[in-house]
């Protein structure tokens, strides 16, 4: 039993190490500022082709809206690359993802499971509480320098 716990802990720490310091090719963290409905928050992007492609599109003015009971979505003006996509684990509230079949961002504020076409782009910094504001709003996304 202890060996199983130790193995789970090692896997969790390895996953955290892979996602704890996302950066672009220059070693500078890729971060975004998102704002809607008097909510302003930041997200740190993963170092993957889809996240870099998203970063190349900002600034963006989109519309964010509730979807299902666990996420907010916003449709992008164009589809992002799916290069390097595939299943991922450790899904949790605060994930910023791209749903390739529909071409939209998905910002999760409750539990979810990976599904085909879902690509994790990054994580919200400081929690997912801003996403709990219900309704449809203009959304502004900018790069943080």
Domain hosting 34: range is: 2-144
pLDDT at 145: 72
Q: Tens-digit pLDDT profile for the chain (145 aa)? A: 434 434 443 434 334 333 334 444 445 579 999 999 999 999 999 999 999 999 999 999 999 999 999 999 999 999 999 997 889 999 999 999 999 999 999 999 999 999 999 999 999 999 999 999 999 999 999 999 7
Distance separating alpha carbons of residues 7 and 11, to the nearest angstrom: 6
In angstroms, rounded to a whole number, what is the distance separating the alpha carbons of residues 139 and 55?
15
CATH number of the domain to which 18 belongs? 2.40.100.20
What's the longest Cα–Cα distance across the chain? 51
Say what the pLDDT of residue 1 is: 42
- Please give the tally of structural domains in the chain: 1
pLDDT given for residue 137 in this prediction: 97
The pLDDT assigned to 84 comes to 79
Residue 29 is predicted with a pLDDT of 74
Q: What is the pTM of this model?
A: 0.80
The two three-digit tokens of residue 141, written as one number: 């996304």
HEC per residue, the chain: CHHHHHHHHHHHHHHHHHHCCCCCCCCCCCEEEEEECCEEEEEEECCCHHHHHHHCCCCEEEEEEEECCCEEEEECCCCCCCCCCCCCCCCCCCEEEEECCCCEEEEECCCCCCCCCEEEEEEECCCCHHHHCCCCEEEEEEEEC
The strand pair at 31-36 and 39-45 is best described as antiparallel
């Amino acid at each position: 039993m202890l060996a199983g716990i130790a193995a789970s802990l090692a896997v969790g720490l390895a996953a955290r190490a892979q996602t704890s310091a996302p950066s672009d090719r220059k070693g500078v963290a890729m971060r975004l500022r998102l704002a809607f409905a008097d909510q302003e928050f930041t997200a740190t992007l993963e170092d993957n082709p889809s996240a870099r492609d998203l970063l190349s599109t900002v600034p963006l003015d989109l519309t964010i809206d509730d979807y299902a009971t666990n996420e907010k979505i916003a449709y992008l003006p164009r589809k992002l690359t799916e290069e390097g996509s595939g299943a991922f684990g450790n899904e949790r509230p605060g994930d910023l993802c791209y749903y390739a079949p529909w071409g939209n961002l998905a910002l999760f504020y409750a539990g979810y499971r990976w599904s085909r076409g879902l690509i994790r782009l990054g994580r919200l910094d400081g929690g997912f509480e801003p996403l709990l504001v219900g309704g449809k709003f203009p959304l502004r996304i900018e790069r943080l320098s």
